[in-house]
Amino acid sequence: MSLNKKINVVVAGATGYVGLDLIRILSNHPNVNIKYLCAQKNIGKKIQYFDKRIKKNLPKISKLQNVKWKNIGVLFTSLPTGESQKIIKKLFSFTNLKFIDLSADFRIKNKKIYKKYYGSEHKAIKLLKLSKYAVSEFVKNDIKNKKIIACPGCYPTSIQIPLIPLLKKKLIKNQNIIIDSKSGYSGAGKNLKKKFSHKNIYSSIQSYAIYNHRHRSEIDQELSTASKSKVKYVFTPTLIPTFRGILSAIYVDKNKGVTLKKIHNELVRSHKKNHFVKILKPNINIGTGNVINTNICEISVCELKLKNKVLILSAIDNLIKGAGGQAVQNMNIIFGLKENVGLK
C-alpha cells in the first residue's frame, strides 16, 4: 500500500471504552481517514465529549444507517455480541469493504458452542466460515485476503501469546493448567454497576464467572487447536480496582526433559519477529505498569519450587493489545503496512 494513500474507516460502537481507545489510535494513524463515528445514542455530539484525550477534529457521532459505503475500506465493529453479525451480513456485498470485529460474533467456529456461551443462535453461519480468528502474532500470512477478521478477547490474548508456541512444541503438558487472570474493571464495560451489585466494586477485588466466562469458549478452541488435543485448565478471572490492564499468572507442568531455559528460549524464538511481544529474562516479576496505553504483551517465565511447575506471567493493556490496538495491528497486516504503524 502506498504511504500516501489513506484507508477510509468507520467505527461502529464509538462511545464505549474499546471504541474510544480505538478511535484515539486511529486518529493518530498516518494512513487512516476516519469518515464516520457511529453509535445508537448521542447523535451529533463530538467524540471529545466522551474522551478529551482525542485531540483531532473528527466527524460527529452519527447513525450507521447514514454511512455512504462506496469508498469505505474498513468497518470496525465494537458492538455488543449479536449486533456485528447482523450489520456485516447486510454489508458483506460491498466488494472493497473489510470488517474488523471486536465482538465475539466471529470468534467461535462451532455454532452450538457459540449458543452455549452467548445464549442465542448465530445469524450469519455462512459468513462465520469465511472469517478468521486473528491473534496478530500468529496470522500474519493468513488474514491478508480475509474479509472478516475476528479480534480475540482480552483475556484470551494474554493467555494465547505465551501458551500457543509451547503447546505446539509440546514443551508443556496440555492438562492441569491453572490460569489466574486479573483485569482492570474497564474489561467489564461501562455497565459495570448493572453487572455487579456490590456497592464497592470500584475499590474491591471481585472474582466472577469462574465456571462459565464467555472467553472460555475461545480459549478452549484455540489452545486445543494448538495442542491438537483437548486442553484441560482452570480459568479464574478477577476484576481489580484499577481501570485498565490484565496480568495473567499461568501455572503449567513441564513435559519430561524440558527445562525452564528451553521454555524461555522457545518463547524468544517464536516471538523474535513480533514487534509487540517482549520476552523478559527468566524469573522477573512483572505487572501492568510497562504495558498500559501500549500494544505490548510483556512475558516473564519463572521457576517454582514445586517439581516440574513453571509460572508464566503475561501482561497486556486490555483495551489496546486486548482490543483496539490489536484491531489496528490486524488492519496494518491486511493492508501491507508495517504492523507497528500508528501503535506503540
pLDDT tens digits along 314-326? 999 999 999 999 9
According to DSSP, residue 134 is labeled -
Mean pLDDT on 224-236: 97
Indicate the average pLDDT of the chain. 94
User: What does the pLDDT read at residue 246?
Assistant: 98
User: What does the pLDDT read at residue 296?
Assistant: 98
In the predicted structure, residue 1 carries a pLDDT above the cut 60: no
User: What does the pLDDT read at residue 256?
Assistant: 95
The overall longest dimension of the chain from CA atoms, in Å, is: 63
By CB neighbour count within 10 A (0-12 exposed, 13-18 middle, 19+ buried), where does 243 fall?
A: middle
Using only C-alpha atoms, the chain has a radius of gyration, in whole angstroms, of 20
Q: Please count the other Cβ atoms lying within 10 Å of the Cβ belonging to residue 191.
A: 10
User: What does the pLDDT read at residue 197?
Assistant: 63
* Locus of grid cell 472467553: 215
The domain 7-152+322-334 is placed in CATH, from the list 3.40.30.10, 3.40.50.1980, 3.40.50.1110, 3.40.50.720, at: 3.40.50.720
The three three-digit cell numbers of residue 32, written as one number = 487512516
User: What does the pLDDT read at residue 187?
Assistant: 75
N residues, the chain: 344
User: What does the pLDDT read at residue 249?
Assistant: 98
Q: How confident is the model at residue 198 (pLDDT cuts 50, 70, 90)?
A: low
The pTM score is 0.94
Cα(77)–Cα(88) distance, integer angstroms: 9
User: What does the pLDDT read at residue 195?
Assistant: 62
In the predicted structure, residue 193 carries a pLDDT above the cut 70: no
In the predicted structure, residue 217 carries a pLDDT above the cut 70: yes
Catalytic residues: 154
Indicate the range of 195-199, 228-232, 288-292 predicted with least confidence.
195-199
User: What does the pLDDT read at residue 192?
Assistant: 63
Mean pLDDT on 158-169: 98
User: What does the pLDDT read at residue 45?
Assistant: 96
Q: Are 279 and 267 in contact (CB under 8 A)?
A: yes
Mean pLDDT on 237-247: 95
Q: Where are the domains of the chain?
A: 7-152+322-334, 155-321
Fold of 155-321: Dihydrodipicolinate Reductase; domain 2 (3.30.360)
User: What does the pLDDT read at residue 204?
Assistant: 85
pLDDT tens digits along 129-157? 899 999 999 999 899 999 999 999 999 99
